[in-house]
Amino acid sequence: MRVLVTGAAGFIGAAVARRLCERGDSVLGIDSLDPYYQVSLKEDRLRELTAAAPDRFAFKQVDFSDWAALQSALEGEEFAAIIHLGAQAGVRYSLENPHAYVSANLMGHLNLLEIARARQTGHMVYASSSSVYGGNDKLPFAVEDRADHPVSLYAATKRADELMSETYAHLYRLPLTGLRFFTVYGPWGRPDMALWLFTDAILAGRPIKVFNHGEMWRDFTFIDDIVSGVVACLDKPPADDDSEKAGGSVKPHALYNIGNHRSEHLMKVIGLIEDACGKKAQLEMLPMQAGDVEKTYADIDAIQRDIGYQPTTTIEHGIPQFVQWYRAYHGV
């Protein structure tokens, strides 16, 4: 099977593309190589991916929020399914550059839905986010919980993607699966994420910024577990049978949390990074940052029941793997 993967130069996209190629599928990857963080890292991911699967992976640089450019790039290309992982990521950056989120996350998502509709694609799996739960106090977050009080524009765009997808599943009977990711980390991760920022600062002897004075909890999910869940979801599109799917839709549209089902205290995470680095962190304790939430915790009953997803990597094993990769990649 040939699969279109958006955000193929990104952290999750590159890992998913590699897994698909390893199991015998072929991948057409697209990415705009946006300079939100260093393009060199994205190019290195693509180089590694191309070297690992030269006959199964093809790449085109295109901004999928540009409808004309996307249509042109995909002209003559065939694929049976779509994994739409490309997006403007980051809660904090949405405070600085809101237009980027509307362009990439709203127009971009609509464009991929239109591609799927026009081609009657067999299944599209797309990235949502745990941020859609906003400041919900009920833990763990379940897909049946309300998600209509976002606390950041990033969260609002991801919830809007889910609502647009529900509409397309209703109007055009497109099989769609949305995945609410919970704090993904691991080798080849993103430089704007806490693990990268903390590791970088600790090794360089700089202080790390610890928001809410360290009273933060996150459901950290290792990249290999995420990839296994994404691919398993791809293989099981929601049926168009009027039955209620995870998330409440009776159309061929399912929503799943994809996390580790463990909410870890930030100070514990910092301690594990210190151990892996062999250095103590200098802590700069700060108040809660606008748009952030205190706790995330994934209820994964639905994806376990329907897909058989089962995360296996604890932070005690995953964090040292990230730090080892980081040091090798940067030669430190």
Neighbouring C-beta atoms of residue 327, cutoff 10 Å: 14
Beta strand 264-265 with 26-31: parallel, antiparallel or unpaired? Answer: unpaired
Alpha-carbon gap, residue 117 to 119, rounded angstroms = 5
DSSP 7: T
* DSSP H or E segment with residue 81: strand 81-84
Alpha-carbon gap, residue 117 to 8, rounded angstroms = 21
For 200-232, b/e burial (b = at least 16 CB within 10 A) is bbbbeeeebebbbeeebbbbbbbbbbbbbbbbb
Read off φ and ψ for residue 267, nearest 5 degrees: -70, -30
Neighbouring C-beta atoms of residue 265, cutoff 10 Å: 14
Which one of 101, 126, 133, 154 is the catalytic residue? 154
The shares of helix, strand and coil residues in the chain, as percent rounded to the nearest 5, are 45, 15, 40
Read off φ and ψ for residue 125, nearest 5 degrees: -100, 130
Q: Helix axis angle, 194-204 relative to 315-330, nearest 10°?
A: 60
DSSP 104: I
Neighbouring C-beta atoms of residue 320, cutoff 10 Å: 15
Helix (H, G, I), strand (E, B) or coil at 228: helix
Q: Are 111 and 65 in contact (CB under 8 A)?
A: yes
Q: Does 154 qualify as catalytic in the annotation?
A: yes
Catalytic machinery residues: 154
